[in-house]
Amino acid sequence: MVWCFLDETRNISEWTPCSSNIVNRVNLRDFYDFSKPTINVSFYCQRPKRPIHCPSITVCHRDNKGTLSVQDEMLTADEKKMFPRDLSLEETSSSIKIRTRGIRVAGSTLPLCAPRLPETVSEGYWFNGTWNGLRCQTRRFPSARSMLECLRNKSLHFLGDSTTKQWWKYLTTFLGLGNREPDRYRTSSVNNEYNINLTFLFHQFPTNAKLTIGVNRLSYVAEGIDDIVGGPDVVIILGLWAHYMAEPMETFRSRVWGIRHAIERLHSRYPDTMVIWRTSNTNHHGRLRHFVENSDWYSYQLLLEVKKILEDVNVAILDVWEMSESMWHDAILHPPEDVIKEHVNLLLSYICAD
């Protein structure tokens, strides 16, 4: 990532590298500190070589060229020969016959979907394109009207990355809600008849997208939670992981701890606000950079870290890892719509458990 320092009075600019982490051996006097300790966020930018004042900082973006150069240097010539490789499954004409012995899990024996449910051996299984959860009673919402009735008088705030936005977009499209998207970081959709309000806020840096972000637009998920007025009809859905795949675990861990503290502050004001966390899922690996930057192993470590940090907080962990890992589609960062449909059914099973 880099930031641009601009001195408009002298019409000069300079790009300088920034990072959420600084190694111990560097001299902090060589960096500007843009950290926010109250929400557990660290962010440092190297001082520009020119005499430009710190308040002149204007925009920032990811240094894709520099990132790819570093990734290229990480592997030897022999290692590079291994990538990319075809990991797709070839279709065959053979079939598998399954013989059951009459053993089944009755959905009514499972608890209602709610925060802090005990861990299960398996999250569930796919059958005929439908996800059958084994952690709690998964409800079906086959029509727009059934979803509208579930969400009547509710406000849903989605905060996170593009995989979380998929849920916002699915609900907005399926329910035919009018939406407003002033920019790609903040969107909203409403239904006046049922008094439903859905908003999405992108978590911004770190980001691997080719975006230039104005400094005055930078915000963090913990700050977004602090701005929300909660209550029994307010649901906060969190999901950030994909853009942290190329970051050290310390960066992700500190952000989640900051979010945990924000949730605790929210619940101290509005204890009946529901909070749901969407976990990571498996990813596609078509190019070398996908193997270096989008490791499924590391993605799963992020999932485990979230469960560890939030295990004793009033948060529902909606684990979609097994849904992604065992789906009939090829692995992909953004699951197909028929899988997202089952994600949303599970999400609404928490919001409208009875």
Over residues 272-309, the pLDDT tens digits come to 999 999 999 999 877 766 677 778 999 999 999 999 99
Q: Which of 320, 163, 321, 344 is nearest to 240 (CA)?
A: 163
Distance between CA atoms of 176 and 178, rounded to whole angstroms? 7
Instruction: Report which of 56, 70, 53, 55 is spatially closest to residue 19, judged by C-alpha positions.
Output: 70
| Average pLDDT for 249-258 | 94
The helix (H) or strand (E) run that includes residue 316 is strand 316-318
Q: What is the mean pLDDT of the chain?
A: 84
pLDDT at position 67 over 90: no
pLDDT number for residue 7: 59
User: Cα angle vertex 253, ends 250, 259, to 5°?
Assistant: 140
Q: What is the mean pLDDT of residues 31-54?
A: 80
Tell me what the mean pLDDT of segment 30-46 comes to. Answer: 85
Which residues neighbour 30 within 8 Å (Cβ) at sequence distance 6 or greater? 46, 47
Q: For residues 315 and 115, is the Cβ–Cβ distance under 8 A?
A: yes
Q: How many CA atoms lie within 13 A of 140 on its CB side?
A: 7
Query: What is the pLDDT, as a whole number, of residue 327?
Result: 95
User: In the structure encoding, which two tokens stand for residue 31, read together?
Assistant: 């960096």
Q: What pLDDT score does 106 carry? A: 46
Q: Work out the pLDDT band at 100, boundaries 50, 70, 90.
A: low
Quick check: 278 and 51 in contact, CB under 8 A?
no
Q: How far apart are CA 68 and CA 135, in angstroms?
A: 41
Q: Hey, what amino acid is at 134?
A: L
**Can you give the pTM of this predicted structure?**
0.87
Task: Name beta bridge partners: 340.
Answer: none
- Nearest 5°: the CA angle 119, 243, 332 is 70
Q: Per residue in 325-338, pLDDT tens? A: 999 998 899 999 99
- Please give the share of the chain, as a percent, with pLDDT higher than 70: 76
Type of residue found at 38: T
Q: Delineate the domains of the chain, giving CATH numbers in brackets.
A: 2-61 (no CATH), 111-351 (3.40.50.1110)
Residue 258 has pLDDT above 80, yes or no: yes
**CA 243/CA 192 separation, integer angstroms:** 34
Number of separate helices (H) and strands (E) present in the chain: 10, 15
